[in-house]
Structure 1
Amino acid sequence: IHSKNYPKNYEDHDDCYWYIEVEKNFVIKLQFIEFDVEAHFDCVMDYIKVFDGDSEEDRVLLNHCGRALPSPPSLLSTGNKMLVRMKIDGGMSAKGFLANYTIVSCGGLLEHPFGNLSTPGYPTSYPLSTSCEWHISLGYGESIELTVISYDIESSYNCTYDYV
């Protein structure tokens, strides 16, 4: 997805929405490739907001402006829906943004103090070409304790095939 007119500058006074929905039981990974939006100290002039769901009432995953890529440049939804909003005022214009999204068959954003991670179909073998990515979000001063209960993946020299 990209801003209107990309890679040329976007227009003044615009308000654009991108609604991304994938199949149930999948999550969305949004990766920013380029980011060039008018900078303001609290991003109230021109900005990109990404919501973890299909509404602006859902949790904000990103509120960003300026020329630097967001850090981290990729975002994961907790479910199968994501909303991207680009709000533009009447000030200066810039290129906007370029991002791509992929469907993730497993993984997602974890925000609860306790939980379990597993590959699809566990305890049976995971499917071929499976790629899982989890992002764990913690509060200030919190830490993670990860306990591996069961681990069975294909072994290869230097982990060139399967790895954790």
Structure 2
Amino acid sequence: IILEFDFFHIQPFVGCYRDHLKIYDGSTSHSPILKGPACGKMAPAVISSQHKLLITMFSDGQKHTRGFSAKYRFVKCGKMLTASPTRIIGRVEHNGSVNPLEVSNCFWLFQAHRGHKVILEITTYNFQKSEKCTDAYLEISDASVAPPISRGIFCGTIPIPVIEGNALLIEFSHPGSKKQPGLRVDYKCIAGPTERKGEGSIQWSQYNALTLVLSMLLISPWTM
């Protein structure tokens, strides 16, 4: 499950101790935390490792901010990777199908540890030319911004510049080919800013009221 945000503004506080959102990789609050506690304006986009994802929202009702609106997608191929001071450098490699009737469609979300940013160096090979990059393409978007901002769509032999950000989503889509298209992504973590200014849906708005705890469970029809 890919979760992205159309807008995200939750009352900021040190350590997000007051109003905050948490996203769990599973169906209960005992599942591993994918993101959170999250507050402020940086969107906490995630990709779950299974077909269930739990979102919880806590508010003390002291201040009014816009809240959040999120969109989710069920995908068959996706993974989230976190670059942190203890895991500074990494690499992802993926090969598409050799079957011309099979389309490879995969997603990777590269997250930076708080206080850092991630840098991606991407190499594609055997990418076919596609008019307006519609049939075979690699799209990169900044998912830490709400709504996400496209950083570019690439196909054929179009060179891909070095990309940096706090949360970068890559989509690889390519029909099968005997030459087997693929990509390699080298990523690393460096110190950087922690805040940016800047098919279903979820909406929630904070308001001056009693303490509120909101939970939402998303379940994919597919198993990953």
TM range (shorter): 0.5 to 0.7
C-alpha distance in 2 between matches for 1:100 and 1:117 = 26
Shift of 1:81: 1.2
Please name the residue that 1:94 is paired with.
65
Task: Name the structure where strand makes up a greater proportion of residues.
Answer: 2
- Residues 156 and 146 of structure 1, relative CA distance in 2, 3 Å threshold: closer
C-alpha distance in 1 between matches for 2:112 and 2:98 = 28
- Residues 55 and 136 of structure 1, relative CA distance in 2, 3 Å threshold: same
The count of residues paired between Structure 1 and Structure 2 equals 128
Shift of 1:146: 8.4
Deviations 1:119-146 (A, max 9, x none): 4xx4534635x53212356889xx9998
**Quick one: which of 1, 6, 12 aligns to 1:39?**
12
Q: How does 1:52-63 map to 2 (within 5 A)?
A: 52-63=25-36
**Quick one: which of 109, 113, 129 aligns to 1:135?**
109
For structure 1, the 5+ residue unaligned runs are 1-27
Deviations 1:77-121 (A, max 9, x none): 1121111000111422323110010112212225797876444xx
Q: How does 1:1-164 map to 2 (within 5 A)?
A: 28-63=1-36, 64-66=38-40, 68-70=41-43, 74-110=45-81, 117-119=94-96, 122-125=97-100, 127-128=102-103, 131-136=105-110, 153-157=127-131, 159-164=133-138
Secondary structure in 2 aligned to 1:54? coil
C-alpha distance in 2 between matches for 1:105 and 1:126 = 17
C-alpha distance in 1 between matches for 2:136 and 2:26 = 31
C-alpha distance in 2 between matches for 1:138 and 1:37 = 20
TM-score by structure 2 length? 0.45
TM-score by structure 1 length? 0.59
Please name the residue that 2:184 is paired with.
none
Contact 1:49 1:60 in 2 (8 A): yes
For structure 2, the 5+ residue unaligned runs are 139-224
Deviations 1:27-78 (A, max 9, x none): x110011112121111111101111121222222221112x132xx531111
